[in-house]
């Protein structure tokens, strides 16, 4: 464990090589699990504001869920999370050629909204945990992501490099530069 500006960072971010391989996993991280993706409070209002722009990319079942329950739900710890379709799949996904993708990110990539996707999704397989008054940045190991470990090892890309963009988005460029120095 290292500390960068009072944020705890797991050594696994340096020791784990990772690169998503959607053709192997089919985006199962958006379907499996015991809750939707964690949401930060400010992300709820963003999703509410842009829901009409996101809906055209969503599967019909997901649209029905958000129209009935709203853009968020609660996980077992009472934290905000994306709602689920049939207690399984994220309501904000769509499927194309048997691969699941994020409808929020699709709307963003087509210039319809200024919000890429929830930071928890962008950071995955990194999970942020509260430890007292600080944040811990941890690697969430999950069998679904086994193909990403193989692809990451082939590329020689540690997790903190692979996830540079979301780490900068969450903590800022200066923090990330300090992280890189600490990892070396």
How far is it, in rounded angstroms, from Cα 85 to Cα 52?
Answer: 18
Report the candidate in 118, 121, 127 with the shortest Cα–Cα distance to residue 9. 127
Token representation of residue 23? 């053709």
The stretch 73-83 carries a mean pLDDT of 94
Asked whether the whole model's pTM tops 0.85, one would answer yes
Residue 105 has pLDDT above 90, yes or no: yes
Determine the pLDDT at residue 28: 87
Token representation of residue 80? 């905000």
Is the torsion defined by CA of 173, 158, 115, 39 positive or negative?
negative
Residue 33 has pLDDT above 80, yes or no: no
């Amino acid at each position: 464990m290292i500390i960068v500006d009072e944020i705890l960072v797991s050594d696994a971010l340096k020791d784990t090589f990772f690169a998503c391989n959607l053709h192997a996993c089919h985006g199962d991280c958006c379907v499996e699990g015991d809750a939707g993706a964690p949401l930060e409070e400010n992300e709820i209002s963003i999703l509410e504001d842009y829901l009409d722009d996101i809906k055209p990319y969503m599967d019909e079942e997901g649209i029905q869920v958000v129209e009935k329950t709203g853009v968020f739900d609660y996980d077992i710890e009472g934290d905000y999370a994306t709602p689920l379709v049939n207690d399984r799949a994220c309501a904000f996904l769509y499927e194309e050629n048997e691969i699941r993708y994020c409808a929020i990110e699709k709307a963003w990539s087509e210039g319809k909204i200024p919000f890429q996707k929830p930071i928890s999704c962008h950071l995955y397989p990194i999970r942020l945990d509260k430890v007292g008054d600080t944040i811990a940045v941890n690697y969430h190991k999950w069998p679904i992501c086994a193909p990403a470990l193989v692809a990451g090892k082939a590329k020689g890309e540690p997790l903190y490099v692979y996830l540079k963009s979301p780490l900068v988005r969450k903590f800022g460029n200066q923090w990330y530069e300090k992280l890189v120095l600490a990892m070396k």
